Chain A
Amino acid sequence: GEDVEQSLFLSVREGDSSVINCTYTDSSSTYLYWYKQEPGAGLQLLTYIFSNMDMKQDQRLTVLLNKKDKHLSLRIADTQTGDSAIYFCAETPLYNFNKFYFGSGTKLNVKP
């Protein structure tokens, strides 16, 4: 079945770049997503990438996809304290956009 894995924690200093990594197993994945969850809040979609793309940039966010290695990363440039949150990687398979498969989340701590 689908399996999405992420490292649990990342700590960076304010102003540095953060890179959050994710691996997935489903080769039929179509869309891959990054969501942000702040305490007491639901999930906020940050960005997504279609599986035939290698890279997508959106302001401070850069998503890199290595489809051969099934590796997805999210780079946050000039990380701010407001970026402290849990970041989830997710994918939807080709046969079913209904179902999101989420990783366990990476907790990003930004130190001032």
Chain B
Amino acid sequence: DAGVTQSPTHLIKTRGQQVTLRCSPKSGHDTVSWYQQALGQGPQFIFQYYEEEERQRGNFPDRFSGHQFPNYSSELNVNALLLGDSALYLCASSKGDTRRTYNEQFFGPGTRLTVL
């Protein structure tokens, strides 16, 4: 079992560009959550996808959008990049609708995004 995988590992973009990050969940998992971890900070919840729909969203602008595919993998898209979007983007997967029931989330290694 490969666990949660993310690609790419590192990415450098310039202000105003758009970026797409990818995540494959752990085998058997169908729920994917995305987090932004700025340097020296804890992860901040961006949104969660379950059954190909965005179920929950944190305090992030509409520039942040996502998608979940039928195979449960997910993409995070960020438009009109700002310098402040530089961060480690973490993907976490779990099984089932986690709004009411605890199911452990497994985190991927993250994608380091640098915006110049």
Contact = CB atoms under 8 A, between A and B. Distances in A.
Interface residues of B, number: 28
A99 B94 CA distance: 12
Q: Which residue among B35, B105, B108 has the maximum number of chain A CB atoms within 10 Å of its CB?
A: B105
Interface residues of A, number: 23
Given A42-B4, A42-B107, A44-B107, A98 B33 contact: yes
Given A97-B99, A97-B102, A102 B108 contact: no
Interface of B: 4, 33, 35, 40-45, 48, 55-56, 58, 90, 92, 98-110
Interface of A: 4, 30-31, 35, 40-45, 88, 90, 92, 96-105
Q: Which residue among A35, A99, A104 has the maximum number of chain B CB atoms within 10 Å of its CB?
A: A99
Main secondary structure of the interface of B (DSSP, over half): loop
A48 B58 CA distance: 23
Contact of A90 (B33, B40, B41, B42): B42
Contacts of A40: 109
Contact of B41 (A42, A97, A104): A104
B98 A98 contact: yes
Contacts of A92: 102
Given A43-B107, A98-B56, A104 B42 contact: yes
Q: Which 5 A/B pairs are nearest by Cβ-Cβ distance?
A: A102-B42, A42-B107, A43-B107, A98-B56, A42-B109
A41 B45 contact: no
Contact of A99 (B42, B58, B101): B58
Contact of B109 (A41, A90, A98): A41
Nearest to B41: A104
Nearest to A89: B42
